[in-house]
Chains A and B, each alone.
Chain A
């Protein structure tokens, strides 16, 4: 019954991915991410809108003194 759902998963396992992500963890992660993705978008835009109305410019990380 739930095999089609399992087929939706895509653990692309490269050699570096040494952890077993776990089937259930993979599945639920897709579901939760789907749920929170929209909320995150709204949150990000809301922050930007708030930023437009606040006096101080939004903080930007200064990485000028970071050397490679």
Chain B
């Protein structure tokens, strides 16, 4: 009999597939490979598919370890995957991030076929951004390819990738948020219903979404027989993969007409060049003092200030509410081969909740905290005034999110706050610098307070109490 340590914890998202599961022990993440998956695991390694995928950067590397399995009766091996520092979800990705995750899935499928294997699932949640690139994190996603079999994950690929991408490209970028509601991807009948008529006539979306949705409706509740002579030959299989890949690749979205797209171009209106430069230098000095491992930039826009922390070696999660800003940041990150930036879409007035089975499959933003440092520049007025959040509640929330806090105080006299107050009554009597200092002083120690020259704003460096 094996005694497992009290700290053993099987991960909440790891239960669907009987091939194995993730568990953590003493803070280290392991994956148990079950006996049922022995043949496939051995094939993954012996066919060199594992090595090829890791070499190409498509699969998270792991090492086999001599650690007591979490469920020894089922176990074949225990592996220790390289840790992913920050888990993100498809409903937090911009268009190109989801598209790159989809194309990564297809690239992995192609390499797998060459090695006589195939992906047995195509879940967007199996992809994570590691060092700026989409990587498959589920080592047990492979099975042996049997000529004649259709692709078991075809429906999942269409629901997790193709449908949301098509909706973002053709209907509205914000429809990526449907992924929050539908944990196994967007139902194809819903996607078909929301997509414009013209998408019915293209070969790609016309078949993989519209025809597919119609077939699902027609054959819903009808059992399928397992005995047949009709099979899908390898050429047809590869043709199907090629069609999925090209349909995915052809989709595109260009941000246009969004509120914040040209934020920095317009920033001259509330920052003089000297103020802007002074702000940057002060933040750099703060970063050099605190040396954070992980920084969360809570209103990053296109990531101009996030770059100050990535360039000092900090993995930086650059959140913004605007999908256009996040898209721009991601494309720039990709172009510059920046490995420490992860741009994500996040609305801090309604941050990602816990989702899925037992509310434990997908983590809330709070579950993924704390960060070593938070960057809250030109953010406070949006939360306190546009969203009416009292300063003490804001201080409490930020206290839960991170250890260090670099925050910019934006007073009522500021032109941006004046804009927010232009068409509404000023009910924010507690919104002043003293109120701010009292509210935050309860949760943080202030280490530095720097007035930005040529501006009414003030930068603070605070540490969690």
Contact = CB atoms under 8 A, between A and B. Distances in A.
Interface string B216-255: 1111101111111111110111111011000000000000
B228 A7 contact: yes
A57 interface: no
B153 interface: yes
B146 interface: yes
Contacts, number: 156
Counting chain B CB atoms within 10 Å of each CB, the highest count among A15, A16, A19, A68 belongs to A16
A60 interface: no
Given A24-B219, A27-B215, A10 B120 contact: no
B310 to A, nearest CB: 30
A52 interface: no
Contact of B211 (A11, A13, A19, A32): A32
Kindly state the interface size class of chain B when it binds its partner: 35 or more
Interface in B26-76: 36-37, 40, 45-46, 48, 51-52, 55
Contacts of B36: 15-16
A67 to B, nearest CB: 6
Contacts of A12: 146, 149, 226
B143 interface: yes
Given A15-B36, A29-B154, A66-B51, A37 B233 contact: yes
A49 interface: no
B224 A11 contact: yes
A19 B223 contact: no
B235 A41 contact: yes
Contacts of A46: none
A14 to B, nearest CB: 7
A67 B229 CA distance: 40
Contacts of A23: 219-220, 222-224
B155 interface: yes
B225 A7 contact: yes
B222 A36 contact: no
Contacts of A33: 150, 232, 236-237, 239-240
A28 B149 contact: no
Given A7-B228, A9-B224, A33-B237, 13 more contacts: A9-B225, A10-B226, A11-B224, A16-B120, A18-B121, A23-B224, A26-B154, A26-B224, A27-B215, A28-B216, A31-B211, A32-B243, A37-B235
22 contacts: A8-B229, A9-B224, A9-B225, A10-B230, A15-B36, A17-B143, A22-B155, A23-B223, A24-B214, A24-B216, A24-B220, A25-B215, A26-B154, A29-B150, A29-B151, A30-B230, A31-B211, A32-B207, A33-B150, A33-B237, A36-B243, A65-B55
